[in-house]
Chain A
Amino acid sequence: MRLECEIEKIKNAINQVERITGKNLTLPVLSSILFTATGKSLKLRATNLSLGIEIEIPAKIEEEGVAAIHGSVLSGIFSNVIQNENVSIQGEEGNIIIKTKKSKIKLKGQLHDDFPTIPLVSGKEFEIDAKKLIDGIKSVYYSSSVSDIKPEISSVYIYSNEDNLVFVSTDSFRLAEKKVKIKNLEEIPGILIPFKNVPEILRVFGEISGEIKVCFNKNQISFSSNNTYLTSRVIDGVFPDYRQILPKESKTEAVVLKQDLLNALKLSNIFSDKFNQVNLSIRPKEKIFELSSQNNDVGENKTLLDAALTGEEVELGFNYKYFLDCFQSITTDSVSIKFNQASSPIVVSGVSDPSFLYLIMPMNR
């Protein structure tokens, strides 16, 4: 193998794929990146057997070939080579030689025979704007369960509903749902992307603009843009029927400024106990929206907020962390909070933004 390419391009590609190399796996070759030089391009491939990635970059190929190189070593090298010029990579008797104008590096290559293929997904396909996909996933994924006990909820659930692609996550204490409008959407019965793979998907496609082709079947999903192909295992399971617990109406509604609430919650946090409990008291007749928390060791605090209130009086406690989480997905300046009985979930959404919905279970103490 002998080739030459731009440092900047290969550096980016290595950064992307290196994160997906297998760590702590019994098969050492999985911790390496596979270089395949053919035609006019160099392909970099890595997998941890849950995710697989392949990035193609243009290169001047003088001799075709394949090589496996340890991922973390490569990323270490390229993050310290700062010259902005071309780099030549050459395989020589099992070793890899990387040359730039000013440095020459010789690396021990690994046996690439054992490097596995990456599944090429065939099945239903649809195209989606990268920004929309990332927005959808990002708006909900923090709500998914981190434990492995119920794999179907430690995932991001994606399905189609008329013209919307709907993203949902829950850890059974709170739930986030984001709808993204897409024209001519095909029917998508429901895909469960493992939560652990989501940060990588966000990272790889976070910077990309343009369309992403998504292809999926019962076992696997793939995302591909111009030069990047990423595939992830999907979870074989059924997401809980969450739609039946979405409250259809509410007894009390409060509209507050997002920033006010955020500040008040942060203040309350100082006094919250080890369960992160913050109490909320709403008395529409007296026009009072009060957040309070107390901690026997620190003290207590009460904060009043300006709010537009309608409906009945409410008093309940909740975990402030769950509340804080959803603000990253609410883009509007004011937030609407809806309540029913003290035992049913609180519904949070941006005012006049029906695309995002967030449910929090109150604490029953």
Chain B
Amino acid sequence: MDIKQLWKNCLVEIEAGVSKANFSTWFKNTSILKEEEGVIYVAVPNEFVRDWLKTKYHKLISKTIADGYETMRAVEYVITKIEPDRQESPKTNEVQINKELPLKDLYISPEDNLNPRYRFDSFIVGTFNELAYAASQAIIENPGTKYNPFFVYGSTGLGKTHLIQAVGNSIKEKYPNKKAHYMTLEKFATDFINSLQGNKANSFKEKYRKYDLLIIDDIQFIGKMEKIQEELFHTFNTFYESNKQIIFSSDKHPNHIPELADRLKSRFAAGMIVDVSEPEYESRLAILKVKLRELGIGLDQDILEYISSAIQGNIRELEGSLNTIVCQYRLKNRPLTLPEVKNLLKNNIRPKKNVAIKDVVKIVTNHYNLEEASVYEKTRRKEIVKARQVVMYILREDFNVSYPLIGQKLGGKDHTTVIHSYLKIKEDLKNDQQLVQELEQIRVMFK
């Protein structure tokens, strides 16, 4: 039976049993909130009503509900907020000339700091993030025990924050007693510094340790902060020992966060480390479609396809481009054509990476501490050969320069030599962790 209808029927019966004044005072603004395992939750506007219904009308209410709903076991009263009509007040002249203080409504609850906008409903799962998604679902099922800590990394704008906040929001909903808290590392650091200044190191510890789920975003900046690392280490241990879930996000793998203490590295690795990579074409298309549905706007398939092929990588940029188009759409009040879209997006599209071969050589030789000229020389000294091969590999892999051109520019080598070098490095990368890291560091320099 529909619970709304049930309450209506009950009210009719109750109305017959009590005086009109009592009925309109105590039963106005009440409703059935939900039914869970036979317990009926009646929503009431405030504590006065709750207390009085409990003491005076509980029997009557229980009996009336039980008559219409046989599986009822108990009745509970819950105070719910009645949303006032948020109609704009008719603005008087005074309001118009008198500027308001730029107060913003707090959308984010100060207690958990989670943005309610980040939910799994609006989270697109593709091959690029399915592992991270699956892990996060497992955590929601078993917070604190399954994967603890949970470490998500990937470059900017790929939905890390969305994912970890969605975990927070889900856990908050699923376990109302658990206290979740989201913050950036920067917040953690400033809090810590403030507590030191105020001589309140203990209250700082207590503040964080009362949470059941701690989410720290952008942990990569911890590198240079030795004291903070130590504090985080202790906080981490407390959480870990009491089986409380911790979630981190970073734009680098913990092993690549510079100057990160080993004890933290190993602790991060103890749980689950997953990466979020860039979405592929199909995922980008899916993301666009979801965003459009949220905005309530339809765009032609070919336009969507164009956007998803033109804007690669970063989801944030994808959203930005879409917003530009939607804004134009609303302004013009008609669907845009493909050429118009192309014109709009021409600035958003990142130019294909172009790089001077000389620059690559410079960066690589710099990294290996060699003379720039040595790479062009005809020498087989081991360290130079390696640097030269790395240059070739990067030129080919990252910048798609043709083999003959690479050979020609690097001191007139044959294109087969270049192919050999390219394949050799590619092969070595599979086994040589040291090399992987070197390349990682070199690539950072190009960004």
Contacts and interface: CB of A to CB of B under 8 A. Distances in A.
A233 B46 contact: yes
Given A26-B24, A233-B47, A240 B104 contact: yes
Interface string B63-101: 000000000000000010100101111000110011111
A237 B110 contact: no
A361 B106 contact: no
B101 A174 contact: yes
A50 B101 CA distance: 29
A67 B393 CA distance: 95
B46 A170 contact: no
Nearest to B25: A27
B111 interface: yes
A245 B100 CA distance: 12
A350 interface: no
For chain B, the bracket of interface size reads 35 or more
A218 to B, nearest CB: 8
Interface string A218-248: 1110000000000001001111111011000
A238 B116 CA distance: 14
A170 B98 contact: no
Interface string A198-214: 00000000000000000
A363 B101 CA distance: 11
Interface in A265-289: 275, 277
Of the candidates B20, B105, B109, the one having the most CB atoms from chain A within 10 angstroms of its own CB is: B105
Given A27-B25, A49-B25, A117-B55, A345 B79 contact: no
A275 B92 CA distance: 11
B93 A275 contact: yes
Contacts of B99: 173, 343, 361-364
A236 B89 CA distance: 21
Contact of B81 (A236, A245, A343): A236
B198 A162 contact: yes
Given A26-B24, A148-B84, A173 B111 contact: no
B104 A47 contact: no
Given A172-B101, A173-B101, A26 B48 contact: no
Contacts of B88: 149
Nearest to A220: B47
Interface string B6-49: 00000000000001111011000000000000000000001111
A241 B106 contact: yes
A119 interface: yes
Contact of B106 (A52, A150, A175, A239): A239
B52 interface: yes
A129 interface: no
Interface string A158-188: 0000100000001011110000000000000
Contacts of A118: 48, 51
A25 interface: yes
A153 B100 CA distance: 13
A365 interface: yes
Of the candidates B88, B97, B101, the one having the most CB atoms from chain A within 10 angstroms of its own CB is: B101
B47 A361 contact: no
A71 interface: no
A358 B20 CA distance: 48
Nearest to A236: B81
B97 A116 contact: no
Contact of B51 (A116, A237, A277): A116
B44 to A, nearest CB: 10
Contacts of A219: 46-47, 79
Contacts of A362: 99
Interface string B178-205: 0000000000000000000010000000
B134 interface: no
Nearest to A113: B56
B25 A52 contact: no
Contacts of A52: 48
Nearest to B86: A149
A171 B84 CA distance: 17
A221 to B, nearest CB: 10
Given A116-B52, A117-B51, A345-B101, A149 B84 contact: yes
A117 B46 CA distance: 13
Interface residues of A, number: 53
A173 B98 contact: yes
B106 A27 contact: no
B392 to A, nearest CB: 53
Contact of A170 (B97, B101, B198): B101
B373 interface: no
A28 interface: yes
A238 B81 contact: no
B103 interface: yes
B101 A365 contact: no
A114 interface: yes
A117 B81 CA distance: 21
Nearest to A322: B98
A275 B97 contact: yes
A175 B101 contact: yes
A147 interface: yes
Interface string B217-253: 0000000000000000000000000000000000000
Nearest to B82: A236
A170 B103 contact: yes
Contact of B103 (A25, A245, A363): A245
B102 interface: yes
Contacts of A151: 84
A241 B101 CA distance: 11
Contacts of B51: 116-119
Nearest to A217: B47
Contacts of B106: 238-241
Contact of B47 (A119, A174, A245): A119
Interface string A81-125: 000000000000000000000000000000000101111010000
A335 interface: no
A92 to B, nearest CB: 25
Given A26-B21, A237-B81, A245-B103, A49 B48 contact: yes
B48 A119 contact: yes
B328 to A, nearest CB: 30
Contacts of A233: 46-48
A365 B97 contact: yes
A170 B50 CA distance: 31
A359 B101 CA distance: 9
Contact of A26 (B25, B100, B104, B110): B25
27 contacts: A26-B21, A26-B24, A27-B22, A49-B25, A49-B49, A52-B48, A114-B56, A117-B51, A117-B52, A119-B47, A119-B48, A121-B47, A147-B89, A149-B86, A149-B89, A172-B100, A172-B103, A233-B47, A240-B104, A240-B105, A241-B103, A241-B104, A241-B106, A241-B110, A244-B104, A361-B98, A363-B99
Interface of B: 19-22, 24-25, 46-52, 55-56, 79, 81, 84, 86-89, 93-94, 97-106, 109-111, 198
Question: Which 3 pairs, one residue from A and one from B, show the smallest C-beta to C-beta distance?
Answer: A240-B103, A119-B47, A27-B25
Given A28-B21, A118-B48, 5 more contacts: A233-B46, A236-B79, A240-B104, A245-B103, A319-B98
